[in-house]
Amino acid sequence: MKVVLAQPRGFCAGVVRAIDIVERALVKYGAPIYVRHEIVHNRYVVESLERKGARFVENLDEVPDGAVVIFSAHGVSRAVVAEAQARRLPTLDATCPLVTKVHNQSRRYVAQGRTLVLIGHAGHPEVEGTLGQIDGLAAHLVQTEADIEMLDVPTDTPIAYVTQTTLSVDDTRSIIAALMRRFSDVIGPETRDICYATQNRQMAMRELCRIADLVLVVGARNSSNSNRLREIGVEAGVSSYLVADGTDIDPAWLCGAKVVGVTAGASAPEALVERVIEVLRRMGPIEVSVLPGVEEHINFRLPAELASV
Ligand code: 0CJ
Ligand code: F3S
């Protein structure tokens, strides 16, 4: 059996930075360090940081007075920042700079008098953080083309849209087109809010689907960008499964597969890709190769107080 790895796959610059922030904070301030929400959507990452002294919470009321708290890569609303300030909690912001950029753009659009439409998935922490940049009724969430028809907004209202960073490029394009059809004055970034890492991994997944009989996507169930990779496989007609670490591979999936593709979401460490390869090796002889693809050289700066730790 051939095992072909997608390039690029796995960690993006925002995830590397977010994990680095937790590790450096533990060194500088000592355990425990509180992290609001999973720093990135991956249990393996979360559990390894827990072993070093990080404590993950969903709400700031679980953080004791005076403890250092880190905001996850997905970003937070202004209400969460205000709550931390009101309690004078020392905070570090691990929000991906590409999410912060969307926050800033959202506020600018609303300041220009436009009604904001956020394209994204309800309940996702990034969506809550972005919607939470805007007060009151000026922001609307849409998840599908059908949601555009349901918007209770006059069609000549000046609209600006922004998007979640980890969406399907193709689906987002269709939703933007529907928005442009319904409203007469629409501005927005097209699909440029979808980050470089999401776009590159989706492109690599499409390449993998041209040669693979089956694709295993290493990533967590609550990882938006990993789910989008699996969907691309399904849309291309290639059986595709999200796997946490390989222990969840059903041998029946591999029946008759000559070429197995493996990729990983932006929050999945390479150690988990290696575990998946090990599981495949135990099932029979394999030959591993990497598909040529985009090389990424992006780095995000750390918060100043952690740069020299
Ligand atoms: O939202 C982000 C800034 C992406 C973070 C990395 O991926 P993950 O799986 O933690 O988050 P998504 O669910 O947003 O893909
Ligand atoms: Fe940032 Fe994209 Fe990664 S938004 S955290 S670079 S998936």
CA distance 82 to 97: 20
Determine the residue of 17, 100, 166 to mutate for testing ligand 1's pocket, defined as the one with the most ligand atoms within 8 A of the Cβ atom.
166
Listed as ranges, residues in the chain with pLDDT below 70 are: 137
Report the pLDDT value the prediction gives residue 157, as an integer from 0 to 100: 97
CATH number for the domain whose boundaries are 2-11+195-290: 3.40.1010.20
Strand partners, 239: 214
229: Cβ–Cβ under 8 A, 6 or more apart, which residues?
A: 201, 202, 205, 217, 219, 240, 263, 265
Looking at residue 280, its pLDDT comes to 97
The burial of 223, by beta-carbon neighbours within 10 Å (0-12 exposed, 13-18 middle, 19 or more buried), is given as buried
Active site residues: 126
pLDDT value, residue 135? 84
98-187 CATH: 3.40.1010.20
Question: Which protein residue has the closest C-alpha to ligand 1 atom 11?
Answer: 223
Residue 136: predicted pLDDT: 72
Residue 176: its H or E element: helix 169-182
2-11+195-290 and 98-187 share one CATH topology? yes
Ligand 2 pocket check for 306: Cβ under 6 Å: no
Three-class SS state of 101: helix
Domain ranges of the chain: 2-11+195-290, 13-96+302-306, 98-187
The pTM of this model reads: 0.97
- Over residues 290-309, the pLDDT tens digits come to 999 999 999 999 999 999 99
Which CATH number does the domain 13-96+302-306 belong to among 3.20.20.140, 3.40.640.10, 3.30.70.260, 3.40.50.11270?
3.40.50.11270
What pLDDT shows up at residue 152?
95
3-state helix, strand, coil in the chain (%, to 5): 45, 15, 40
Q: Is any ligand 2 atom within 6 A of the Cβ of residue 165?
A: yes
The predicted pLDDT at position 138 comes to 76
